[in-house]
Chains A and B, each alone.
Chain A
Amino acid sequence: MKEYQTITEISGPLVFAEVDEPVGYDEIVEIETADGDIRRGQVLESTSEYVAIQVFEGTSGINRDASVRFVGETMKMPVTEDLLGRVMDGTGQPIDDGPDIVPDERRDIVGAAINPYSREYPEEFIQTGVSAVDGMNTLVRGQKLPIFSGSGLPHSDLALQIARQATVPEEEEEGESSEFAVIFGAMGITAEEANEFMDDFERTGALERSVVFMNLADDPAVERTITPRLALTTAEYLAFDKDYHVLVILTDMTNYCEALREIGAAREEVPGRRGYPGYMYTDLANLYERAGRIKDHEGSVTQIPILTMPGDDDTHPIPDLTGYITEGQIYIDRDLNSQGIEPPINVLPSLSRLMDDGIGEGLTREDHADVSDQIYAAYAEGEDLRDLVNIVGREALSDLDNKYLDFADRFETEFVQQGTETNRDIDETLEIGWDLLSMLPKDALNRIDEELIDEHYREDQTVEAPADD
């Protein structure tokens, strides 16, 4: 290992050093300051004369006398099944006073792309017990389904509820106990938020099947760029080598992207939209695309990244680029939240792209697709009418329109509303759906197969639904 004392420039998170031997791109670097402190970093650019190093733990305290060592390999994550139950910091160092980790293997954290030919199409329904997800935006194994939220909204509660309740009903019936594991990658969240997660993990006993990576708000920002990669490398190992079904929760992706922007700015790159680097799409894709299933492998990696949309604006580059990569999104809604709906999921802009193949006869229920379609259409209609009713009043509307309005209200208070501790199975969710749809005349149910209407429609339901507003 060659050591240099040739630092020429220190700028933000970057250090430039002269070298006389070739250094590999992406290689790991150790920088030792005058007082013996060791910082780790990564080569961002390598030429025959100098290298640009991105320092994970921040550059404060580094001066031109600091010595630079090139480790000769790229960043690796030590992986083993024993990681389950462990808590680590954002660079993968244990912080739970547990025993030393004896790795089975050390894996490159960048991770190679899964060959699209080797993938298996995800179509196993995961029952989360949350009606607005199961019924309307079904999650399947191997999917990447982000939660689009805003500051101060209860996205963590939803993520925890899903982590707690997720099962695959089909397998349970057959008695196959599939091994679930949760990987939690925190990037720049506050200590309080982190405590909430940890308390919940401990309360429910989930910790022993979890691996936690914590980069807190006061940890160096640059470190955030490696935290999700460590988490996903661990996830891939558990899923594709050890046959676990892994659920990866990454929060908060907005902090991750801020860190990318910080590095981009320090390198004086040509910025893309709103100052974020032009390669942010590719960079995010390299994380999100690490979800999936692989042919002839038992395990799977399912991702639920959480991001807070600055100003609740989903055209902001972070949610926008995310939406283009992930297989749908779940929107947490500020209005529903202030109405006290738990979880406050707005189903209209939410979407699960893999839903169509994960539901239906033999998977969930024959009527699932039609019911969900019809609820969407009816709720959208009711939403539209709410604007109108503010102007003209309820009396000016037709009978049918009034029913749509009632439908929209009851949908929010009965279907979406369920509380963070309620676990509804898919049958229960769909039956609530039919209760609501039966408020509408049969003719209006044009998205549902006629036979299914005959089978499920509640003929005797009193149509005067309660609607006190």
Chain B
Amino acid sequence: MSKATESDVREDGVIEGVSGPVVTAKDLDARMNDVVYVGHEGLMGEVIEIEGNLTTIQVYEETSDVGPGEPVESTGAPLSVDLGPGMLDTIYDGVQRPLDVLESKMNSAFLDRGVDAPGIDLEQTWEFTPTVDEGDEVEAGDILGTVPETPSIEHKVMVPPDSEGGEVVSAESGTFTVEETVVELDSGEEISMHQEWPVREARPTVNKKSPKKPLVSGQRILDGLFPIAKGGTAAIPGPFGSGKTVTQHQLAKWADADIVIYVGCGERGNEMTEVIEDFPELEDPTTGNALMDRTCLIANTSNMPVAARESCVYTGITIAEYFRDMGYDVALMADSTSRWAEAMREISSRLEEMPGEEGYPAYLAARLSQFYERAGYFENINGTEGSVTAIGAVSPPGGDFSEPVTQNTLRIVKTFWALDADLAERRHFPAINWNESYSLYRDQLDPWFVENVQEDWPEKRQWAIDTLDEETELQEIVQLVGKDALPEDQQLTLEVARYLREAYLQQNAFHDVDMYCEPQKTYRMLDAIKTFNDEAFDALDAGVPIEEIIEVDVAPRLNRIGVQEDWDEYIDELESDLEAQIRELY
């Protein structure tokens, strides 16, 4: 979090009342959304309402023992994040205070109050190499030079978006801290590697384009059936225990984004710890470096102050936009947006605002759409193209998708991965329901899959969807009369669909090989099941009894493709064995 300098501090006010995270102050000279420091301990807060001489503040820290009469001072600046090298491989709280710095400053494993820390290390030095020369004209957003931030990511130093621009008078390579000037313009403007940006405001772009490239996730059901685009939006709603967080973690691990921002919003502390422990050891499938090198974590767990939970998604998306401006593809996971909405509800009810549906504030839909609209595939003001993909988990109460947060989210997002408690109970993971889920990006992404994976990708997918649909219908009959009462061809369809479910759609997130499945393997697995389907139906037509066909001992090997490292050979062999064995029957 940006720390205001002394000169910014303006008039002092006095606390009038305290109720949980909401504090009212009188005689405070502050604007809406300004950051203020509350009480003797200087707890950070934000102005959310001004009425006459009374200012209402949401406080980002515990307010126990704070009482009327204590001072409040305004910084005169809105809630902003520090942007610059040093954000990757870091874990922040909801207002961008690095948690490792807080640990050492507080000298305790428990979070204390009133301790502030800048979002990026102001002491650390970075190797800056300019990409502009003296005499070059630069404008707002232009890239001035690069810094090797982590082994995976080259950080690009840009002219701040609100700068006038001008002619470069000096640009030197060397080692600098983020606050030292690296480029000077003829206007006298001194540009350092450090920028600030208010979190509730989107960073400027030229225009939003229609996304054409998929965010390849290495998850078969996502890439294969319900793909999301780079710059797309997706929601993962599901009851507890259905695997929202595991799905989000899988995406954070394997999605082919350049940068991953993971926002743990009001969720479990141990889940964030798991990410902190796992990611440094996992290898990024595209670069081979540690996954943590491209990751920035924002953790505001459920027991951390509720107001900071409200701000953490904004902190996340602002950091995402900053990396987008460098021309990177950024994926942002927010787990869970329902907790964010609940934080809004809690603050709203303390303000005694008139509630909308289920006690949520009337502006819930507007806030959700503002957030998701900050995602997209953009042409940046410096001419580069970059994207922010936003994937939000939703935790509907009682698993009921008709509640306001799910419904308002579905009106905005274009990909819907519906998690299903029944599937989770039978340990079908990922428990994404293939009948309810959808992706509106399918058609616009097909050209990419056709070009980069296989020509008949869309046809194969359609076949899989049709077979699964047919299974759903047949299952209803089976529930009434039993499987053996069905005609043989329908029994065979059920058998094929079973392989689709068990071999293709299920994927073990905890198996060393199966956890990531490249698109080529995804395609070939489907192809192998299709081979079984075609051979089996040919045999059936030739008069072979269904029992003999389903009992060919090569078929169950389909279920083992996922865990094969040398899948290409394995599938070759499997396909030819399938052909041979089934054809032997007639």
**Residues of chain A having any CB pair with chain B under 8 Å:** 22-27, 44-48, 73-74, 108, 110-122, 142-143, 240, 269-273, 278-279, 281-282, 285-286, 289-290, 292, 294-295, 297, 314-317, 320-321, 323-325, 327-329, 348-349, 351, 353-354, 356-357, 369, 373, 376-377, 380-381, 387-388, 391-392, 396-398, 401, 443, 446-447, 449-450
- How far, in whole Å, are A316 and B19 apart by their CA atoms in the complex? 28
Contacts of B99 in A (CB 8 A): 115-118
Given A398-B483, A450-B560, 17 additional A-B pairs, CB 8 A: A22-B68, A26-B65, A46-B19, A47-B18, A116-B91, A116-B272, A118-B99, A119-B109, A121-B277, A270-B352, A272-B359, A278-B342, A292-B269, A349-B241, A381-B426, A391-B480, A392-B482
- How far, in whole Å, are A240 and B484 apart by their CA atoms in the complex? 61
- How far, in whole Å, are A128 and B64 apart by their CA atoms in the complex? 39
Let me know if B273 and A294 touch, CB within 8 A: no
Q: Does B586 contact A (CB under 8 A)?
A: no
Let me know if A117 and B63 touch, CB within 8 A: no
Contacts of B112 in A (CB 8 A): 112
Instruction: Give the residue among B69, B303, B484 with the most A Cβ atoms within 10 A.
Output: B303
Let me know if A325 and B64 touch, CB within 8 A: no
- How far, in whole Å, are A73 and B19 apart by their CA atoms in the complex? 17
Known contacts A47-B17, A270-B355; A328/B241 CB under 8 A? yes
Let me know if A286 and B303 touch, CB within 8 A: yes
- Option from A119, A271, A449 in Cβ contact (under 8 Å) with B273: A119
Contacts of B109 in A (CB 8 A): 114-115, 118-119, 240, 294-295, 297
Nearest B residue (CB) for A393? B482
Nearest A residue (CB) for B109? A118
- Option from B17, B358, B400 in Cβ contact (under 8 Å) with A315: B400
Contacts of A44 in B (CB 8 A): 19
Let me know if B339 and A281 touch, CB within 8 A: yes
- How far, in whole Å, are A24 and B23 apart by their CA atoms in the complex? 12
Known contacts A112-B62, A396-B484, A398-B484; A45/B273 CB under 8 A? no
Q: Does B250 contact A (CB under 8 A)?
A: no
Contacts of B484 in A (CB 8 A): 396-398
Let me know if A446 and B559 touch, CB within 8 A: yes
Let me know if B66 and A271 touch, CB within 8 A: no
Q: Does B556 contact A (CB under 8 A)?
A: yes
**Residues of chain B having any CB pair with chain A under 8 Å:** 15-20, 24, 62-70, 91, 99-100, 102-103, 106, 108-112, 239-241, 264, 266, 268-270, 272-274, 276-277, 299, 301-304, 306, 339, 342, 345-346, 349, 352, 355, 358-359, 395, 397-400, 421, 424-427, 478-485, 502, 510, 553, 556, 559-560, 563
Let me know if B479 and A315 touch, CB within 8 A: no
- How far, in whole Å, are A356 and B276 apart by their CA atoms in the complex? 17
Known contacts A112-B111, A446-B502; A289/B426 CB under 8 A? no
What's the least CB distance linking B11 to chain A, in Å? 19
What's the least CB distance linking B179 to chain A, in Å? 25
Contacts of A297 in B (CB 8 A): 109
Nearest B residue (CB) for A279? B346
Contacts of A349 in B (CB 8 A): 241, 421, 425
- How far, in whole Å, are A329 and B100 apart by their CA atoms in the complex? 31
What's the least CB distance linking B452 to chain A, in Å? 31
Nearest B residue (CB) for A446? B559
Contacts of B20 in A (CB 8 A): 25, 279
Known contacts A285-B302, A315-B400; A114/B111 CB under 8 A? yes
Contacts of B268 in A (CB 8 A): 289, 325, 327
Let me know if A46 and B270 touch, CB within 8 A: no
- Option from A45, A325, A381, A391 in Cβ contact (under 8 Å) with B302: A325
Let me know if B270 and A142 touch, CB within 8 A: yes
What's the least CB distance linking B276 to chain A, in Å? 7
What's the least CB distance linking A303 to chain B, in Å? 12
- Option from B303, B397, B399, B480 in Cβ contact (under 8 Å) with A317: B397
Let me know if A26 and B64 touch, CB within 8 A: yes
What's the least CB distance linking B123 to chain A, in Å? 19
- Option from B103, B398, B427 in Cβ contact (under 8 Å) with A115: B103
- How far, in whole Å, are A455 and B304 apart by their CA atoms in the complex? 48
- How far, in whole Å, are A377 and B498 apart by their CA atoms in the complex? 13
What's the least CB distance linking B383 to chain A, in Å? 38
- Option from A46, A143, A377 in Cβ contact (under 8 Å) with B67: A46
- Option from A114, A117, A443 in Cβ contact (under 8 Å) with B553: A443
- How far, in whole Å, are A111 and B64 apart by their CA atoms in the complex? 11
Contacts of A48 in B (CB 8 A): 16-17, 68-69
Known contacts A295-B109, A388-B482; A45/B556 CB under 8 A? no
- How far, in whole Å, are A377 and B508 apart by their CA atoms in the complex? 14
Contacts of A380 in B (CB 8 A): 425-427
- How far, in whole Å, are A325 and B346 apart by their CA atoms in the complex? 17
What's the least CB distance linking A384 to chain B, in Å? 8
Let me know if B17 and A46 touch, CB within 8 A: yes
Let me know if A324 and B304 touch, CB within 8 A: no
Contacts of A316 in B (CB 8 A): 398
- How far, in whole Å, are A233 and B220 apart by their CA atoms in the complex? 46
A-B contact pairs, 10 of them (CB 8 A): A111-B110, A116-B301, A117-B103, A118-B103, A270-B349, A278-B359, A279-B20, A353-B241, A381-B426, A446-B559
Nearest A residue (CB) for B240? A323
Contacts of A328 in B (CB 8 A): 241
- How far, in whole Å, are A270 and B347 apart by their CA atoms in the complex? 11
Contacts of A294 in B (CB 8 A): 109
Contacts of A122 in B (CB 8 A): 270
What's the least CB distance linking B86 to chain A, in Å? 16
- Option from B110, B241, B482, B502 in Cβ contact (under 8 Å) with A112: B110
Let me know if A25 and B269 touch, CB within 8 A: no
Contacts of A290 in B (CB 8 A): 303
- How far, in whole Å, are A377 and B560 apart by their CA atoms in the complex? 16
Let me know if A116 and B510 touch, CB within 8 A: no
Let me know if A110 and B62 touch, CB within 8 A: yes
Contacts of A116 in B (CB 8 A): 91, 99, 264, 269, 272-273, 276, 299, 301
Let me know if B349 and A278 touch, CB within 8 A: yes
Let me know if A323 and B397 touch, CB within 8 A: no
Contacts of B276 in A (CB 8 A): 116-117
Let me know if A289 and B302 touch, CB within 8 A: yes
Let me know if B65 and A74 touch, CB within 8 A: yes
Let me know if B301 and A113 touch, CB within 8 A: yes
- How far, in whole Å, are A119 and B301 apart by their CA atoms in the complex? 12
Contacts of B342 in A (CB 8 A): 278, 281-282
Q: List the 5 shortest-distance A-B pairs measured between CB atoms, nearest first.
A: A315-B398, A285-B302, A47-B17, A380-B426, A118-B109
- Option from A45, A108, A292, A387 in Cβ contact (under 8 Å) with B479: A387
Let me know if B111 and A315 touch, CB within 8 A: no
Contacts of A45 in B (CB 8 A): 17-19
- How far, in whole Å, are A433 and B560 apart by their CA atoms in the complex? 22
Let me know if B64 and A108 touch, CB within 8 A: yes
Nearest B residue (CB) for A27? B65
Contacts of A396 in B (CB 8 A): 482, 484-485
Let me know if A273 and B397 touch, CB within 8 A: yes
What's the least CB distance linking A432 to chain B, in Å? 19
Contacts of A317 in B (CB 8 A): 397
Known contacts A116-B91, A121-B277; A373/B427 CB under 8 A? yes
- Option from A26, A121, A329 in Cβ contact (under 8 Å) with B274: A121
Known contacts A349-B425, A397-B482; A24/B397 CB under 8 A? no
Contacts of B399 in A (CB 8 A): 315
What's the least CB distance linking B83 to chain A, in Å? 21
- How far, in whole Å, are A285 and B346 apart by their CA atoms in the complex? 14
Known contacts A119-B269, A272-B358, A349-B425; A24/B67 CB under 8 A? yes
Nearest B residue (CB) for A19? B68
Contacts of A357 in B (CB 8 A): 274
Let me know if A115 and B111 touch, CB within 8 A: yes
- How far, in whole Å, are A73 and B482 apart by their CA atoms in the complex? 69
Let me know if A281 and B302 touch, CB within 8 A: yes
- How far, in whole Å, are A64 and B242 apart by their CA atoms in the complex? 53
- How far, in whole Å, are A54 and B271 apart by their CA atoms in the complex? 35
Contacts of A117 in B (CB 8 A): 91, 99-100, 102-103, 273, 276, 299
